[in-house]
Amino acid sequence: MSEQNPLRIGILTAGAHPVQTIYLPALHALPTLYSITAIYFSRPQEPAVPVPANSISTANTTQDPDTILSDPDIDLILNFMPNEYHELYTIAALQAGKHVMVETPVSLSIPSARRIIEAEKDAPNGARVFVASARRYAPCFEDVFKREVRSLERIHYARCRTIAGPHIAHTVTSSRVGAGNAESDGVGPGSNGVVLPMKEKEAGEDRTKRLRGLMEEVFGKDEQLSQERMALSRFLASLGCHDLGLMRDTLGYPDAISNISVNEPFYSALFHYNGAAVDGAHPYPFTLTYEAGTDCVPRCDAQLAVYGHTKTVTIYYDLPYARGQPVRVVVEAADERGGLMQTETVSTWEEAYQEELRALHAHLVEGKTAKTTARDSLEDIKLFQAIFEQYDRQCGTIRTPLG
């Protein structure tokens, strides 16, 4: 594929947000890299905020996702369907020889993610999978935050926190999301193996069946899917994966996990590091506290902070797919007189998404290495599994309100 030809995009989405509010404007700002050919909305909605008029008008809308999967004029599929459908649509696109950008996490279970990785190996046209995680592409994260963390002589402590109130940007912050809820997407498998529109009731049943199958792969067929397990799984696969992906990108995969707390809708855990995973830091052990949850206070208190002896480095961010709020990196240290000295670097939300899309184009067209691949996302799912296993161990030995 010539670098001069924009990648032709087909979009599969369950609703207007975040495609209409985030990705259409970001794609529209990069006309030499991308052109939008077709969009499938399984639950059409009016956009929450104005978007460029020609972002949608230049694309065909369809009621049949198979027309996008089989269209020879489409090079890249944006898979923004619910998590239960990530595997189905991603593998279908790969088998059709089309690249895929899928929302994080790549799927919900380790076997499911591995099936996607295997399909990518055999995909025609060298089709590849890229996992959307724009927070990790914000310029201030890559150029400032990670550099400052590497410069620390020693990490003493770290903290990752996301406590958010209701917001249209993310369904997990809505009180309407309940245990085992499977909102109908209007999609499902046809009898000939092609994904076809379905009636609302059938779609809801199909989504519930797929979710149950993935949860059985996570917890085992004989394990009871309790309210607590489902709530923790739902959170990790929504807000949690964005937090933990940023944590891994900065500090690496934790060496141990302890003290899991599940008090729905709040969750916490301790991640233990031996220090060897952080480039540039001396190999001293440290602990990271992860705390997250949702409530009814309309704000987002979210950051990843790393504490050294002479410097604290913090990155502040908003909910995934929230417009308007920048990503900020704040470095705190003592000045020559012992007073507090602060420096701040800001990346707008537009910069984060456009940098992600530039990295995607460079990966698919120029062959550059991408950091948010299916294999990378598999590490998040392995971390989910480790959290579940530690939680199960605790429930057998530690007395908590949950047993």
* pLDDT, greater one: 136 or 207: 136
Residues 293 and 196 in one domain: no
The answer to whether the CB of 26 falls within 8 A of the CB of 354 is yes
The values of phi and psi at residue 139, to 5°, are -55, -40
Residues 79 and 153 in one domain: no
Asked if the structure places residue 34 within a domain, the reply is yes
The answer to whether the CB of 290 falls within 8 A of the CB of 262 is no
* pLDDT at residue 20 in the model: 85
Asked if the structure places residue 291 within a domain, the reply is yes
List pLDDT tens digits, range 125-141: 999 999 999 999 999 99
Asked if the structure places residue 30 within a domain, the reply is yes
Nearest to 75 by CA among 4, 21, 5, 16: 5
Indicate the pTM of the whole model.
Answer: 0.87
Residues 264 and 142 in one domain: yes
Residues 197 and 282 in one domain: no
Name the average pLDDT for the chain: 86
User: By mean pLDDT, which of 198-212, 242-256, 315-329 is the weakest?
Assistant: 198-212
Q: Domain total for the chain?
A: 3
- Find tokens 């198979």 and name the residue: 66
The answer to whether the CB of 308 falls within 8 A of the CB of 152 is yes
Residues 159 and 213 in one domain: no
Token pair listed for 10? 């087909």
Nearest to 196 by CA among 12, 64, 42: 64
List pLDDT tens digits, range 294-312: 999 999 999 999 999 999 9
Asked if the structure places residue 203 within a domain, the reply is yes
* pLDDT at residue 26 in the model: 95
User: By mean pLDDT, which of 45-54, 237-246, 282-291 is the weakest?
Assistant: 45-54
User: Kind of pairing, strands 286-294 and 157-164?
Assistant: parallel
Q: Which domain holds residue 99?
A: 7-133
Residues 109 and 147 in one domain: no
Q: How far is CA 270 from CA 240, 258, 286, 324, 374, in A?
A: 14, 5, 10, 31, 26
